[in-house]
Structure 1
C-alpha cells in the first residue's frame, strides 16, 4: 500500500536524517512521493508521481536543511487511482471557514459508499482524496449548524466519529492536520509506530532510527497531537482491519493493471 510519516514538535527541528531513511523505502513504494511543511500557517507541499529515490527534485530538497514543527511525508504504492501527480499525497483542502486541512493515508477503502459522491468532485481519483473531501463536508455541516467555529475538542470528537465509521472493513491509517492539531489513527496491527523524545513526536509506518524507544501506535484509537504532546485520545473501537486473501487479490489485480499500462506505453 503506502508508507506515511509525520513529525510534531513545539519548536522547529531539522529532520533530514529521518526523511532520508523514510524515502529510501520507496523501492517497495515506487508510485510517488510527497512532502509537506507547515510554515506561517501555510502548507509548503512538494510531490511527484515518481519513485522517491529517482527524484532529482527530492534530492535537491534533502540537500538543504528540512526544518519544521509540523512535517508530513508519504511514499505511494498505488491500490486506487492512476500514477499521476494529483493522486500523490498529501491532499489539502479549505473548509468553509478558510481553515486549511491536510491528509495522508496508508490503506485502502474497500467498502464505504458515502465516498462515492466525491468521485466527480476530486481532482485525482483516489479513495484518500475522497476521505478528505468527506471530512471537510462534515466539518462544514457541523459548524453551519453550530453557527460559529468549532473548538479543537469538537473537531476531534467529530473526526473520531467519522473515522470509527469509516474503519469498518477498511484500512485507515491516517495522518490529518487541521492547522491546529495533528490527528493519528491506525487500525491494522504492526503498521504504524511512534517515537516520543526531547525532539518531539515522530510517527511512521516503520521505525526510522535505531532508537529503542519506538513503539506501535495503539490500535483502533484516534490521537490528537499539539506541540509534541498527546492532547486528546479517543476510546478504542473494534474495527481492526485484517488483510484477507480477497483484499490481497484485489490489490494484486490493480497493480497488474498499472504494470500493463506501463508496458503498453
Structure 2
C-alpha cells in the first residue's frame, strides 16, 4: 500500500454551508467484500474536533456476519483514546456506520451518542442521524424505547416500531425500502433528517439537506484525504472483485468524484452498489 502522511491541512467547506457545519457528520460504507475502513475513518474522525467542530461525541458500528461491534464515546473523535485504538484495529466489514456529533438535542452524554442499535427480526439494526427535528414526540407503544434524550433516537425507535408493525418477518431489501419511503414523510415534516441505517445486509441512506457518495471499484485509483495528508493507492490493496460504496455528509477526499444526493432522496446500497445498479 502506497501511503504518505504529512501535516494536517484545514478542510475547505463549500460556500454557504454554515448551517450544515452546525450539524453532525455521517459516514457509511457498504461493500461487496469485507473492506478495511481505516482510511475513511482516519479522515472522518479528524472532523470530530480537529478540522471541524463536531466534538460532542462519536461512534462507529460495523458488522461481522450477523454480529455487531459498536464503539461510542462522548469525547471528541479527534482526541479520543478509543479512536486511537481503532486506528490499530482491523476495521474490516461489509457494512459500517460512523458518526461525529455536534449536539443540538440532548446533553453531551454517552447515551446520546450515535450510532444507536436495536434488534428486530433477529438482526441488529444500526442508525445514525444528522439534522434537527423540531417538536418531534412520536407515540412509542412497543418495546422500542429511547435510552437517551435525542430526537435522533426517538426517530429510530419509531422507524423500528413501524417496520415491525408493517411486516410479520424480515422482508427483502426492496420491500423494506418501499416501507421506509412511506414512513419518511412523517418524520421529515419535523425538520432535517439525513440518516444512515443498516441491518448488515444492506445500507439505507436518506438525504434531507446534504449527503454524497462514490463507488470505489476496479480499476482502482489513488485517493487523498481532505482532512489529513494521506494518500492510498487502492490498486495496491484491492482485487478486481472488491467494491465499496462510501456515503458521507461532505466528501472525504480531494481527488475523487463524489455524487450529491438530491434532497428527499433515499438510496439503498447492496454489495457496494445502489440497488438499481447505478454507479453515478
**8 Å contact from structure 1 (residues 115, 130) kept in 2:** no
The CA distance in 1 between the partners of 2:42 and 2:273, in whole Å, is 24
Alignment pair present for 1:196 and 2:215: yes
The CA distance in 1 between the partners of 2:185 and 2:199, in whole Å, is 18
- How many aligned positions are there? 226
Superposition deviation, residue 116 in structure 1: 7.0
Structure 1 pair 65–94 and aligned structure 2 pair: CA distance change class (3 A)? closer
Q: After superposition, where does 1:131-170 map in structure 2 within 5 Å?
A: 131-144=155-168, 148-170=169-191
Partner of 1:238: none
Structure 1 pair 69–150 and aligned structure 2 pair: CA distance change class (3 A)? closer
Partner of 2:93: 68
Partner of 2:34: 12
The CA distance in 1 between the partners of 2:185 and 2:152, in whole Å, is 16
Q: Which structure's residues are more often helix, by fraction?
A: 1
Residue from 137, 145, 164 that aligns with 1:121: 145
Superposition deviation, residue 6 in structure 1: 0.5
Alignment pair present for 1:83 and 2:108: yes
The CA distance in 2 between the partners of 1:181 and 1:164, in whole Å, is 21
- Structure 2 counterpart SS, 1:25: coil
| Alignment RMSD (CA, Å) | 2.0
**8 Å contact from structure 2 (residues 138, 154) kept in 1:** no
The normalised TM-score by structure 2 is 0.76
The normalised TM-score by structure 1 is 0.80
- Structure 2 counterpart SS, 1:122: coil
The CA distance in 1 between the partners of 2:191 and 2:112, in whole Å, is 19
The CA distance in 2 between the partners of 1:62 and 1:156, in whole Å, is 33
Structure 1 pair 100–69 and aligned structure 2 pair: CA distance change class (3 A)? same
Q: After superposition, where does 1:37-48 map in structure 2 within 5 Å?
A: 37-48=62-73
Which segments of 5 or more consecutive residues in structure 2 lack a partner in the other structure? 1-22, 218-242
**8 Å contact from structure 1 (residues 92, 103) kept in 2:** yes
Which segments of 5 or more consecutive residues in structure 1 lack a partner in the other structure? 234-265
The CA distance in 1 between the partners of 2:251 and 2:41, in whole Å, is 12
Alignment pair present for 1:173 and 2:198: no
